[in-house]
Structure 1
Amino acid sequence: MSTAELAATGPQVGTERPMSTGAAVAGVVRAETAKLIRRPATWLLLAITLVLSLLFTYLVPYAGYAGDTGGFRADLGLAALLPDRLVGNSIGGLPVFLGAIMVILGVLTVGGEYGWGTWKTLLTQGPSRLAVYTGKLLTLAVATLATVLAVYAVGAVTSAVIAAAENQAIHWPGLGDLFTGIGAGWLVAGVWAAFGGLLAIALRGVALPVGLGLVWLLAVQNLLAVVAAPLIGWVADLQQGLPGPNAGSLVAALGANSETPGVQQVVSGGQAAAVLAGYLVGFVLLGGVYLRRRDIL
């Protein structure tokens, strides 16, 4: 069900008085929230996120530890899986793999109207383009935060079970470290979701933006970091200003394992957070400019 169809089920604004911006944004948020909850793809993306996080952060390393096979995280052993590593373990996948899922979520949330061809129907309900865009972004912000919190929750339960099974003392991160980690994860997830939203608006679709976003996260930025940067000096310098390496630097500063793809301390954590915040604002503003000035069809 599209935003236009959901909005049409609520109170209608006729010609008696114009809809206020706040009411328009609130209506879009309600409609987008209902749409995300009812859309099976939303729950599928969340399930994939949690399965990937659980499998490659805890279950595979623990199986290797229990079987004494070495490999990934063999140098850290059981210590890498305990509750005191919750922050780093929860956000380590966001620079690449979990970040790719956030791109898809951003494309679906912001660009769904292109896929359904319902922009005209939606805008005739009363809200302006920017009111619709703002409502979509607010909904997307809540969705990314909920995803990050879900990853933390699954990680907390799994790490506690592993600690109990191995008769290890359970020590949780401090509240300050936990809130910092959640905020950092939300920032990285928000950057990738906003990137997906920008691609959806710029390309006026869903399939191509998803494809290009995944190619960038899973292929291009890794090739730049692994292949080009060690050989070409200016590419190595360029890494310090790209969103992927800064995301990897931020989560590395908070304890993410450096063996995780995309996690590398290229710049300091503070600089990485500032660069990512700049990208977030830039993606959001550029998407708004495109949506406001270009033909929606």
Structure 2
Amino acid sequence: MNGMAIRDLIASTNAEMLRLRKWPAFWIVLGTWILLNLTFAYLFNYLAYTSGGSSRMSNGLPREALLRQMLPAAVPEVFTQGMAMFGGALMLVLGALTVGSGYGWGTWKTVYTQGPSRVQAVAAVVVSLATVVVALVCAAFVVDIAVAALIAASQSQALTMPALDRSLLGISTGVAILGMWTLAGALIGAIARGPALAVGLGLVWVLVVENLLRGVAGIFAPIEVVTDHLPGTAAGSLAGAMRTVDGPATPGVLQILSPTESLVVLAVYSVLFAVGTVWLMRRRDLV
């Protein structure tokens, strides 16, 4: 790629980032994930902790275990647990809306006729979404650290921050999981050529189809080789590798693949989704 192409890609990426920042749906999706993260990771656990004793809200964990999960040292583990399913579903929606809405609004026609090449235009979307994922994961990590620090102070606990390597591992895990689902949404948006159908298909896959297939694998072993390498299985296994406590896991969190296998599978899916989106939008007509 020559210097002119790089400058065009940077300019296209900046334009795409500006479009996302001006788009209310973008902030709604990101804000919803931050809110859900805080609600399930801290609000419910804090209510269960202050109410005393084990309950359904606490998943049967004793008060001491609940408190440990709400302290800053546990943030790398806690903030990744909801990403495999709920966070992934929301980021899939964002990817599908980002690409699919361009067809409904006629944005892609304008870009293709007046802007850079198709490859650069779509690559700019992929780079923009990757940037958003990294920024979101880092923002969620900082917010969780702040909330956990407040809880620690209110409960007279030592303010022990998570180790640097553990923090980097948690952030990398979050980027790998959410990045894969975001790119999956982008590909579905390109296939469906519209936001509504893309969002519906993506959510059905994340929340229903994969769970059904894993259930079938429990009674029909030959398809396990497929279900063990589905996107959701890899994402759930990588999130599960961060768990350090016993008790019921968050929905979508699994322990099927090893961390290395999960990371490789997620990387392969991410590359396939990104390349597939660029190839499809480059080769296909808009009508």
Q: Name the TM-score, length of structure 2 as normaliser.
A: 0.92
Q: Which stretch of structure 1 is more off in the superposition, 42-51 or 105-114?
A: 105-114
* Code of the aligned partner of 2:284: R
Per the alignment, residue 51 of structure 2 pairs with: 67
**Structure 1 unaligned blocks of 5 or more:** 1-18
Deviations 1:237-283 (A, max 9, x none): 32221110111111111227652001011011111001100000011
- Partners of 1:95 and 1:256 lie apart in 2 by 17
2:279 aligned residue (289, 292, 297): 289
Matches within 5 A, 1:1-297: 20-68=4-52, 69-71=54-56, 72-75=58-61, 76-225=65-214, 227-255=215-243, 259-297=249-287
- Partners of 1:104 and 1:249 lie apart in 2 by 22
- Partners of 1:223 and 1:158 lie apart in 2 by 36
**Structure 2 unaligned blocks of 5 or more:** none
- Decide whether the 8 Å contact of 2:100 with 2:198 is kept in 1: no
Deviations 1:148-200 (A, max 9, x none): 11211221111111111111122222111111211111111110000000001
- Decide whether the 8 Å contact of 1:91 with 1:256 is kept in 2: no
Any idea what SS the aligned residue of 1:120 has?
Answer: helix
* Code of the aligned partner of 2:134: L
Any idea what SS the aligned residue of 1:137 has?
Answer: helix
Deviations 1:184-226 (A, max 9, x none): 111111100000000011111111001110111112222333x
Q: Percent identity?
A: 37
* Code of the aligned partner of 1:134: A
- Partners of 1:179 and 1:63 lie apart in 2 by 29
* Code of the aligned partner of 2:38: L
- Partners of 1:212 and 1:89 lie apart in 2 by 28
- Decide whether the 8 Å contact of 2:100 with 2:192 is kept in 1: no
- Decide whether the 8 Å contact of 1:248 with 1:264 is kept in 2: yes
- Decide whether the 8 Å contact of 2:236 with 2:255 is kept in 1: yes
* Shift in Å, 1:236: 3.4
* Shift in Å, 1:61: 1.4
**Number of matched residues?**
278
Deviations 1:44-100 (A, max 9, x none): 111111110000111101101211252234323212221111111111111100111
Any idea what SS the aligned residue of 2:152 has?
Answer: helix
Flag the 1:125–1:154 CA change in 2: closer, same or farther, 3 A. Answer: same
Q: Which stretch of structure 1 is more off in the superposition, 21-30 or 251-260?
A: 251-260
- Partners of 1:120 and 1:36 lie apart in 2 by 18
- Decide whether the 8 Å contact of 2:99 with 2:195 is kept in 1: no
- Partners of 2:220 and 2:46 lie apart in 1 by 38
Q: Name the TM-score, length of structure 1 as normaliser.
A: 0.89
* Code of the aligned partner of 1:229: A
* Shift in Å, 1:110: 2.4
* Code of the aligned partner of 1:248: G
Q: Which stretch of structure 1 is more off in the superposition, 139-148 or 233-242?
A: 233-242
